[in-house]
Amino acid sequence: MTTAFDPIDLAGTPLANRLVMAPMTRNRATAEGVPTPSMVRYYTQRASAGLIITEASQTEPVGRGYPLTPGLHTPEQVAGWRRVTDSVHAAGGKIFGQLWHGGRIGHPVLLPDGLVPVAPSAVGAAGQGFTQDGPTDFVTPRELTDEEIHRTIDGFAAAARNALEAGFDGVEIHGGNGYLIHQFLAPNTNLRTDAWGGSDEARARFAIEVVKAVAAEAGAHRTGLRLSPGNPFNDIDEPAPEATYTAVVEAVAPLGLAYLHTCDVLDLELLARLRKRFGGTFLLNPATTGRPTGPEELSLVEEGEADLLAYGALFLANPDLPRRLALGGPFNTPDRASFYGGDDSGYIDYPALEA
């Protein structure tokens, strides 16, 4: 029987176990999006994960959705991430960088002068976003032109190239949680009637083209894709997501990607159908309403529901999570007040178990 503690070959990258540190925004980069020494320590502390997937890094300046998030579009950012990857590798870990564009989730105060958030259509998100000025109402984004869409795809490819220069073992494309790729996929945020919208297949096109461009740059074996079908986060509404996501998965499956990473929103049957169509390594971030993913979910690997298992908040609070899961605990409790921004408290001061 395969367990979550068994090694796995991830398209040529050997992983010591099947426990993955999920990508989690922590807002601890500099104002210029450069990873800090504390980020080096944070990721290195968690190098016993089979695979670390970093917090989202914007692929271009207009893609920033929150303050103090890192990027992968300047030499200084690449150098900062290189310090992270070198340290993680020295500790025996493997690390993928997550590529991200916030799209309409952002605000002009987060962006260089003159820029406003962009999206497939000029449809603002309900609610407020987080800025250095506190919670702020979302603005109506500017609709991308066809030429700009192609440049945005090129931006993902360039960020993938920068990620390899920064020493990452691979990259994950963030296609979920209501950000730009998800905005192209969802019918309430993509109102286009050109080649990028108007049907399930057309809404899938942007995601497909981004994956192809990134895989061509980084190698498909070093490219993962994260999707969250039906996730309402950031004012997304997908009443019937299967056709669109099937189009995405069927188009990218022949590329031979490193993995497909899906976030369960209480529809494991849909995810199982997408997994079958993908045919490759399947990374699951399971739904655990009201609590962090914990020891109870280890059985998902044993039962063949997933090849890899993503842990978020519990990995945030337990730098030595694989060891704690193997022992059945105890587990540090995540401090939600320090999740986003702040100093090193609740970031790099969670204790590991004594030897």
Q: Which residues are catalytic?
A: 179
CA 242 to chain centre: 21
Cβ within 8 Å of residue 175, ≥6 positions away: 181, 182, 185, 207, 210, 225, 226, 227, 228, 248
Q: Which of 147, 158, 280 is nearest to 214 (CA)?
A: 158
Cβ within 8 Å of residue 303, ≥6 positions away: none
Burial of 200 (0-12, 13-18, 19+ CB in 10 A): middle
Which residue bears the tokens 């929103």?
265
Q: Cis peptide leading into 330, omega within 30 of 0? A: yes
183 contacts 189 by C-beta, under 8 angstroms: yes
CA dihedral (42, 105, 274, 253) positive or negative: negative
Q: Which of 172, 180, 184 is nearest to 283 (CA)?
A: 172
Cβ within 8 Å of residue 2, ≥6 positions away: 18, 301, 302, 304
Strands (E), the chain: 8-10, 13-15, 19-21, 51-58, 95-100, 118-119, 128-131, 134-137, 142-143, 170-174, 223-227, 259-263, 282-285, 308-311
211-242 core/surface letters (b: 16 or more CB in 10 A; e: else): bbbbbebbbbebbbbbbbbbbeebbbebeebb
Amino acid at 156: F
